[in-house]
Structure 1
């Protein structure tokens, strides 16, 4: 069972896929239960992610559902193998909300990560100083020990991008880079870090300019994730006052994929975005010199 009896994002992804393939094969849950010599209740819990299917169960069910695509089979078997694995972030579990753990697990599994951020620099690009400033300056009081742990987690998340483990695209509204929300010296260091990150082959940073009009205020921050060579969006996370929500419904995924494409096509090209950031950085240096 997933830790704490709560579906993990990996067990839920596996269960959703198994349910979709069962339905495509026009089998009901009792029929699927017969395939693995179990009960309908177990199939229900597998498909909801409350328990994780064993690899042999995945193989038998996919055989029964007529799924022959080897890439699909391998992907689902890998989810079954690793759904209970402890990620590096669980060392900090006492300081993390369960929904934040889901977000990090999605990042850790993803091959493509895309983010839109109209307010602050995305966590995958934040310097430690910037992360400390925004975490400590949030709407809810946080004790210094937890601030330090959350900063460590944000830095740890960045290893995925720094090591080239995923293709990462971030679109920032111009306000994020033009108007410091943190001390100016911290903001300057953050802008330099964004420019450095944008030079990596697997990283694309674009700025949506104010001249794009109301588009910058039409969508709150979101992240989308793909888990295969195909960049089709398979999960989206949204930040809100209550935490992080994970969307997996097909209509939701299509809507956010379309919104990201609209934002990307309206944003400055990567080179022009970098030039804008360099100009802001020069102005900040002149103002503080």
Structure 2
């Protein structure tokens, strides 16, 4: 069972894929259960992510569902192998909300990460000083020790793109760079850091200008994640007052993929975005 008795991001992704392939094969849960000599309840729990499928179960089910693509099979078998893998962020679990850990797990597995931010510099690009300033604006009381832990976690998340483990692209509204929510000194340091990190081949940042009008208000901040060699969106994380919500329904994935493409195509080109940022440093 996933740690803590709740579905992990990996077990849920595996379960969702198994359910979709079963339905495409026009088999019901009882028929699927017979394939692995298990109960219908186990299939239900596998597909919901509440229990972790064994690799042999994944292989037998994919054979029965007619899934022959080697890449798909390898990816799902890998999820089965590592669904209970202990991520680095669990060392900080006592300080982190479960939904935040889900977000980090998505980042850790992703090959492509795309992000839209209309108010803040994206977390994967934030300097420690900027992160601390933002965290301290929280209406919830936080001890100095907790603030330090949260800053450390946000910096640790950045290793994913610093090491080239994912292709990262972000679109930010012009207000993020022209209307600082932190001190002038911290803001200038942050802008300089953005220019430095966007020199990496796997990082792209674009600024959505005020001139596009109301497009920036259509949706709040979100991130999309892909886990394969192709950039098809497989999960979306939405930020809200109570934390982060993860969407995985096909219609939601299409909607947010299209929204990101619209924001990206409406934004300044990366070189023009960098030029604008330099004028503010």
Deviation at 1:139, TM superposition (A): 2.5
CA distance, structure 1, for counterparts of residue 192 and residue 80 of structure 2: 41
CA distance, structure 2, for counterparts of residue 32 and residue 261 of structure 1: 38
Is it true that 1:75 corresponds to 2:75 in the alignment? Answer: yes
Match runs of 1:139-150 below 5 Å? 139-150=139-150
CA distance, structure 2, for counterparts of residue 190 and residue 250 of structure 1: 36
Q: Which residue of 1 aligns with 2:160?
A: 160
Q: Which residue of 1 aligns with 2:235?
A: 235
Higher deviation after alignment, 209-218 or 162-171: 209-218
Is it true that 1:39 corresponds to 2:34 in the alignment? Answer: no
Match runs of 1:48-127 below 5 Å? 48-127=48-127
CA distance, structure 1, for counterparts of residue 73 and residue 207 of structure 2: 39
CA distance, structure 1, for counterparts of residue 56 and residue 273 of structure 2: 50
Q: Which runs of 5+ in 2 are unaligned?
A: none
Q: Which residue of 2 aligns with 1:272?
A: 272
Deviation at 1:140, TM superposition (A): 2.0
Deviation at 1:40, TM superposition (A): 0.4
Deviation at 1:126, TM superposition (A): 0.3
CA distance, structure 1, for counterparts of residue 179 and residue 141 of structure 2: 24
Q: Which residue of 2 aligns with 1:189?
A: 189
Residue-by-residue CA offset, 1:216-239 (whole Å, 9 max, x unaligned): 122100000001111111100001
Is the partner of 1:104 in helix, strand or coil?
Answer: helix
Deviation at 1:242, TM superposition (A): 1.0
CA distance, structure 2, for counterparts of residue 252 and residue 64 of structure 1: 28
Is the partner of 1:84 in helix, strand or coil?
Answer: coil
Q: Which residue of 2 aligns with 1:8?
A: 8
Is the partner of 2:171 in helix, strand or coil?
Answer: strand
CA distance, structure 2, for counterparts of residue 206 and residue 152 of structure 1: 26
Deviation at 1:13, TM superposition (A): 0.2
Deviation at 1:143, TM superposition (A): 1.5
TM-score (norm 1): 0.96
Deviation at 1:136, TM superposition (A): 1.2
CA distance, structure 2, for counterparts of residue 265 and residue 32 of structure 1: 44
Q: Which residue of 2 aligns with 1:216?
A: 216
Deviation at 1:144, TM superposition (A): 1.3
Residue-by-residue CA offset, 1:48-93 (whole Å, 9 max, x unaligned): 0000100011011111111111111000000000000000111100
CA distance, structure 2, for counterparts of residue 67 and residue 218 of structure 1: 38
Displaced runs of 4 or more, over 4 A: none
Q: Which residue of 2 aligns with 1:22?
A: 22
Q: Which runs of 5+ in 1 are unaligned?
A: 282-289
Deviation at 1:115, TM superposition (A): 0.2
Is the partner of 1:280 in helix, strand or coil?
Answer: coil
Q: Which residue of 2 aligns with 1:207?
A: 207
